[in-house]
Structure 1
Amino acid sequence: MKHPDNILEVAALLPDYMGFIFWEKSARYFDGVIPELPKSIKKVGIFVNETAAIIFEKVSKHDLQAVQLHGHESVAFCEELRKILPKDIEIIKVFSVQDEFDFSILEPFEAVCDYFLFDTKGKLPGGNGTTFDWKVLENYPSTKPFFLSGGIGLEELEAVKEIIKTELAVYAIDVNSKFETAPGLKNLKLVTELRENLQF
């Protein structure tokens, strides 16, 4: 999210999370003030290879409830964050997937992250508007809940619903570019339709 009026419009639909990108190279870079949101909505700061000090500063400044790590953050870095951030801040570690994925790399992150997020590998760290082969997730070996991301639009909803029905630990879906009229500006009609058609 990026624009105050649009943030409030989407917030009225009561999503569980709202994301704010603190990576300056992103067209969705957020450098404003987050308006007051309903208490049920968790504000997520999205970071790419940022320092722990900057993440701590943004969490404090914007009263974030979660951080999403979209770069090459190590297990040690996640451990450091866990130590300096308030204990109730959720840490979401993102992993990029294409046609295959080595799930063994997840194991050391299990103890230092609350959730994983699987996104499509692309030119940018997120927001590429393309899906990956979700069948790869059939080999997911963990019980750690995860966010499903990567080019999800209304046309993918039936496939999303099928994944949710499986025994996989799908916790949430992360939507972005296919619900926008411009980077960081969400199409309220499309988001409303998503909300009406996909209830967890």
Structure 2
Amino acid sequence: MSASAQPLAIKICGLSTPETLEAALATGVEMIGLVFHPKSPRFVPPEEAAALAAMARGRAEIVALVVDRDIAELTDLVEAVRPDWLQLHGRETPEAVRAIRAATGLRVIKALGIADRHDLAAFAAYQGIADRILLDAKPPKDAAYPGGHGRTFDWSILAALDRTSPFMLSGGLDPVNVAQAIAMARPWGVDVSSGVERAPGVKDVDRITEFVVAARAAAAAAAEAGRT
């Protein structure tokens, strides 16, 4: 079965409180993300993250987002939090991704910053190495952290991607535009952070629910269109 034929995976990233985590879990999302980059407004210390992960375990897959961490640091983080996935959001090379997978035994999502079609050249380099590739909008040049800036990119450039490799879409998604994004990009999954917040790092329970409802409806419409 092709990646596009699989049910859509929805990930709510940057969760940092029990209340907003519970709201995300109540919608039945497949993945929740915890951010371990200290410069991010969504950063969660490992001890707090472990408690949040315990809430989510068995209800959604737990993704730990890290930026340019060495393997020793990642090993300690994995032991403390016990995530199901690592999301590498820095400048990790394909060789580093392979080494991290081997050292931790976890599945890996590799994030790539996209501004135009030239940035898609990196996609092929990570195929068969990362378990999933996340295409995120490239951050501003002076950004202190790599994601969660509410920026989008031109989703039409993704039409040329190899559809046998599952990818996730991120960058500026929100309850209003996620349907268009799914229709145009046909991703394996969607990943939202700032689009369900009322302030940087402050998740909004109603927007989480609205996003999931809109994404599920769009995925169902896309699947129906594919059958006709």
**TM-score scaled by length of structure 2:** 0.79
- Name 1:30's counterpart in structure 2: 44
Residue 160 of structure 2 corresponds to 139
CA contact (8 A) 2:132 2:168 kept: yes
How far does the alpha carbon of each residue in 1:50-107 deviate from its partner, in whole angstroms, 9 at most, with x for none? 1122122212211100111111001111111121112xx2200011111223433332
Which residue among 57, 65, 73 is the counterpart of 2:76? 57
- How many residue pairs get aligned? The number is 194
Deviation track 1:133-185 (CA, whole Å, cap 9, x = no partner) reads: 11111121352101100000122133123126xxx5x1100011011123333
- CA shift digits 1:117-143 (9 cap, x unpaired): 011111230011011011111121352
Name the SS of the counterpart of 1:14 in structure 2: coil
The residue identity in structure 2 corresponding to 1:135 is: S
Report the equivalent of 1:10: 24
The question of 1:84 aligning with 2:98 is answered: no
The percentage of counterpart residues that share the same residue type is 26
The yes-or-no answer on 1:197 pairing with 2:214 is yes
Mapping 1:115-154, distance limit 5 Å = 115-123=132-140, 124=143, 125-141=146-162, 143-154=164-175
Q: Aligned with 2:33: secondary structure?
A: strand
Higher relative contact order (CA 8 A, sep 6+): 2
Query: 1:115 and 1:73 mapped to 2: Cα distance?
Result: 14
8 Å CA contact 1:43, 1:65 repeated in 2: yes
- Which one-letter code corresponds to 2:20 in the other structure? N
What pairs up with 1:93-172 in 2 under 5 angstroms? 93-123=110-140, 124=143, 125-141=146-162, 143-163=164-184, 168=186, 170-172=187-189
Q: Is the 8 A contact 2:16 2:44 kept in 1?
A: yes
User: How far is 1:2 from its partner?
Assistant: 0.9
Structure 1: 5+ residue stretches without partners? none
How far did residue 12 of structure 1 move? 1.8
Secondary structure at 1:136's aligned position in 2?
helix
Q: From 65, 68, 75, give the equivalent of 1:46.
A: 65
More helix by share: 2
TM-aligned CA deviation for residue 186 of structure 1: 1.7
RMSD: 1.7
Matched to 1:10, the amino acid is: A
Tell me the secondary structure at the aligned position of residue 75 of structure 2: helix
Q: TM-score, normalised by structure 1?
A: 0.89
The one-letter code of the counterpart of 2:198 is: T
CA contact (8 A) 1:103 1:141 kept: no
Report if the CA contact (8 A) 1:3-1:184 is conserved: no
Q: Distance in 1 between matches of 2:174 and 2:19?
A: 23
